[in-house]
Structure 1
Amino acid sequence: MTTSPPVPVRYLKGDATAPQAKGVKIIAHVCNDAGGWGKGFVLAVSRRWPEPEAAYRRWHRARAGNDFALGAVQFVRTEKYVWIANMIGQHGTRTGSKGPPVRYEAIGTALETLAARAVELGASVHMPRIGCGLAGGRWDVVEPLIAQTLVAAGVAVTVYYFD
C-alpha cells in the first residue's frame, strides 16, 4: 500500500482571522507567558471575537491552579466551525539577555497538542507566521516545526501574510 505525501503548507495573502476553507477551522497564534494581550495579531483576534482574550486573561489569572505555562494551549470556540488556539510560545514580551521572547521548544510542544486537536475535530489550521512577529522568531525555524507536527499528522495548514 502506498501513502500519499503530506500536503505542504499553503500560503495565502490575507487575514488569518477570516480563514479560507470549508469545515471546522482552528486559528492558531502564539501568546506570551506574562499575561499580556494587546499588541500584534491578538488585536485582530479581539476585533473579531471577545472570547479568546477573555479566556486567555482568565487562564493567566488562575495560572497557579491550571496548566498555563510555556507549551500549553487553550482552545476557545468562537463560532460553530471556528476555534482559536491560544498557544503559549513566548517568554515575556521583550528581548533581553537571553534573546527574543520566542521559545521554539514551547511552540513545538503547543503544535503537537494543536495537531492532536485538529485531527480529533477534523479541522484545518490557519495562522499568521506564528512566533515571528513580536516574539522575534525566525520562520526558517518555525516552519519545520509545523511540518513535523501538523503536516505530519495530515492536517491542512494555511499561513496568511499581509503585504
Structure 2
Amino acid sequence: MQEINYIKGDATAPISKGEKIICHICNDIGGWGKGFVLAISRRWKEPETEYRKWHREKSNFLLGEVQFVRVEQYITIANMIGQRGIKTGSKGVPIRYDAVEKCLEKVCSKAKELGASIHMPRIGCGLAGGKWEKIEPLIIKNLIANDIEVFVYDF
C-alpha cells in the first residue's frame, strides 16, 4: 500500500502528471471567503461561482456532499461540504469528520473514474478547527487503501 506524499508547496499548483483532483473543505452555509478558498479563487473563478450557485439552488447542498468543478484540462476542484457553519460554538469546532469521510468516499469514486491523483492542503485543520490526527486516517482508509495517489501540501 502506498503512503500519503507530504510535500512543501502550493496545492493549487499540483505537481503530478495526468488527471488531478484538488480537494478542500467547504461549509454548509454558503460562505466562501477565508482560508484555502482564497488561493483557489485567485487561480480560478469557477469553483466559487459553482459553489455559490449550488448553495442558492439548495440542490443536495448538504454535509457529506461534493461538487466537482473542472477548471483546466487535467484539473478538477472538489468542493467538499465537511464543515457545519463557520464558528466554534457550543457544538464544538465546525469540522464534521463523518461528513469529511462521506466526501472522501465520493472523491475516491471520482478519482477512480478519471484515473486521477488527489491533491490537498491539510484539509479541515485550519478555520474548520479539525485535527490532522483525525483527518489523516480518513484519507488513508478512503483513498490510500483504494490505491489512489495522494499529495498533501504544506505551504
* TM-score strictly above 0.5: yes
| Structure 1, gaps ≥5 residues long | 1-5
**Aligned residue for 2:42?**
47
Does residue 20 of the first structure (1) align with residue 19 of the second (2)? no
1:153 CA drift (Å): 1.1
**For residues 56-135 of structure 1, what are the structure 2 equivalents within 5 Å?**
56-63=51-58, 66-135=59-128
Percent of residue pairs bearing the same amino acid type: 63
**Aligned residue for 1:3?**
none
* Helix, strand or coil at the partner of 2:143: helix
TM-score by length of 1: 0.94
- Equivalent pairs, count: 155
One-letter amino acid of the structure 1 residue matched with residue 80 of structure 2 = M
1:145 CA drift (Å): 0.1
Deviations 1:43-81 (A, max 9, x none): 000000000000000000001xx1110000000000010
Rounded Cα–Cα distance in structure 2 between residues aligned with 1:152 and 1:55? 30
Deviations 1:109-146 (A, max 9, x none): 00000001001100000000000000000000000000
Rounded Cα–Cα distance in structure 1 between residues aligned with 2:69 and 2:118? 14
* Helix, strand or coil at the partner of 2:42: helix
Q: CA RMSD in A?
A: 0.4
Rounded Cα–Cα distance in structure 2 between residues aligned with 1:72 and 1:161? 25
One-letter amino acid of the structure 1 residue matched with residue 79 of structure 2 = N
* Helix, strand or coil at the partner of 1:71: coil
| Structure 2, gaps ≥5 residues long | none
1:152 CA drift (Å): 1.2
One-letter amino acid of the structure 1 residue matched with residue 53 of structure 2 = R
One-letter amino acid of the structure 2 residue matched with residue 9 of structure 1 = I
State which structure, 1 or 2, has the greater radius of gyration over its C-alpha atoms: 1
One-letter amino acid of the structure 1 residue matched with residue 36 of structure 2 = F
